[in-house]
A = this chain, B = another copy of it.
Amino acid sequence: MQAKAEDFFFSGLNQAGDTNNDVKSNVTTVNVDQIPGLNTMGISLVRIDYAPYGKNPPHTHPRATEILVLLEGTLYVGFVSSNQDNNRLFAKMLYPGDVFVFPIGMIHFQVNMGKTPAVAFAGLSSQNAGVITIADTVFGSTPPINPEILAQAFKLDVNVVKDLEAKFKN
């Protein structure tokens, strides 16, 4: 089947994602699922919207480095390096036009520090970067991870873990 221009095209990133949710942020992903022409190309794109005080909570991309540019608002961003680098926090306040890089696999987050919405775009070095939201993955998996395991790992009472697993249950 012959490729056509539409196979390299997507529309709609001018529209803010719906931030009416728990974290008050929204990621709109444009990867190989939306654009077949990205197959084998090693790149994709996202738009991220943040309501006032909205957060993109700690997460990783298992197959991509992310380069983010802030278009509107004020964003506090950071990633934590791996154990070998002593889990150092690399953080920065971003203003419009600022760019920040989150290296592949590192846990990172963004927080809207202002009273107005924030908007960012980001490129990712994979046609299918993947997202692992830490809290949802650890406390909200299906089925849940044994609470004893998490209680010890996170130094939490087992009942607190059970409570978290109930809250994060899909």
Contacts and interface: CB of A to CB of B under 8 A. Distances in A.
Given A109-B145, A155-B135, A42 B69 contact: no
Interface of A: 3-5, 8-15, 23, 30, 35, 37-38, 41-45, 47, 55, 57-58, 60-67, 69, 71, 76, 78-92, 95-107, 109, 111, 121-125, 130-146, 149-150, 152-156, 160, 164, 167-168, 170
B135 A153 contact: yes
Contacts of A111: 146, 149
Given A8-B101, A11-B97, A58-B138, 13 more contacts: A8-B103, A14-B95, A35-B101, A44-B67, A58-B145, A60-B105, A62-B105, A83-B131, A83-B132, A107-B138, A139-B154, A139-B155, A155-B164
Contact of A14 (B12, B55, B80, B96): B96
Nearest to A144: B89
Contacts of A90: 3-5, 8
